[in-house]
Amino acid sequence: MKKILIYLITSSFFFHGCVPARKFEEISEKQEVCAGELKTLKTLKTELQTENTELESENEHLKDLTNRLIKDTTILGKSLRMKEKQYDKIDLLNKRIQDQLEMLQKGQSIEKQRLMADLEKRKSDLLVLEDQQRTFEIELNNKKQQLEDMSIELQKREQRVNELEEIIANKDAMVRALKEKVANALLGFRDKGLSVIEKNGKVYISMDAKLLFASGSTKVDSEGIKALKELAKVLEDQKDLEILVEGHTDTDKMRSNSHPVDNWELSVLRATSVVKIMLKNSKMDPTTVSASGRSQYIPIDIENKAKNRRIEVVLIPKLDELFEIINN
């Protein structure tokens, strides 16, 4: 601005010395215009200086802000880089977690499928078990019913067994009493080849042939008749007996061609003779008495033939009541 002002003043002096008055006036006018412009320029300069000062102040402030921003930017940059590193780590970790999650989900899917398959199998097994349980329950109920039926049947059988045992016990007691009674009645004949034994629930009265018959004879002699009468008296009151009279011989052949011709016939005829005498001399029921011949085939002593020649009267308790209980 100063250079401009000096230039204007110098030019003015130059024109005053070189130009006429009219020109001088024009120059003066121009000088006044220039002075006005100079004043305006000064004012403008002042304003510009003020504005410049303000701008410099603002510039300083902006520089300060810029420095602060640069500093903050540096700090933020460092922080950003740290955050970026952290982010990278977090991103890497996230990827790892994502991969693990995918693997886990895949594994869970496989495990879920396995669990579902296992669940379906267990459901199927449960249905089978339920069917089996229902079958078992039906079978159990059937078994219970069978058991109840068997229990009832067992009670009935126990009752029948008790009745049978009572009957058998009574029969055994009766047989023992009968044996004693017969033995006492025939006591006088014991030393003459007569014996009374109890065996298998029966009473066996065995009489040697010499007590009843002569050799080869079928006729009972007087001593034998006496023994048979005593026996018949004991048996005539026994209503629950079957009486079997058996004739037994030895192995010797018959010497006569007349009757009896052999041991079979001899044993039968002797048994028949004994039965007839017992029935004739007592009130025995003929329907309870039978005679049979056993010939030589049931010996009691192989060495002593005389013992095999005998009459056996077998007293058999009637078991009708027993059989009735068994059949029912």
Helix residue ranges, H only, the chain: 2-18, 21-185, 209-212, 222-235, 263-280, 305-308, 320-327
Residue 179 within any structural domain of the chain: yes
- Spatial CB neighbours of 320, under 8 Å, sequence gap ≥ 6: none
In a domain, 285, yes or no: yes
Could you tell me the maximum CA-CA distance found in the chain, to the nearest angstrom?
231
Q: Is residue 297 part of a domain?
A: yes
Considering the chain, what is the average pLDDT of its residues?
83
pLDDT-derived band at 13 (thresholds 50, 70, 90) equals very low
Instruction: Show Cβ contacts of residue 241 under 8 Å, excluding neighbours closer than 6 positions.
Output: 178, 235, 288, 315, 316, 317, 318
Hunting for tokens 């014996």 — which residue is that?
195
Domain-embedded: residue 313: yes
Range of 260's domain?
165-327
pLDDT of amino acid 326:
60
pLDDT score for 14: 45
Question: Within its chain, how far is the Cα of 47 from the centroid?
Answer: 114
Tell me what the mean pLDDT of segment 111-140 comes to. Answer: 87
Look at residue 172 and tell me if it is in a domain: yes
Tens of pLDDT, residue by residue over 53-76, are 877 787 777 777 777 767 767 776
The structural domain count of the chain equals 1
What is the residue type of 299?
P
70 within domain boundaries = no
Residues 71-89 have a mean pLDDT of: 73
Q: What is the pLDDT of residue 328?
A: 62
Model pLDDT for residues 208-248, shown as the tens digit of each residue: 999 999 988 999 999 999 999 999 999 998 888 899 999 99
For residue 66, being part of any structural domain is answered with no
Find the CATH number of the domain harbouring 204: 3.30.1330.60
Q: Determine, yes or no, domain membership for 292.
A: yes
Confidence category of residue 15, pLDDT binned at 50, 70, 90 = very low
Cα–Cα distance measured from residue 55 to residue 61, given in angstroms and rounded to the nearest whole number: 9
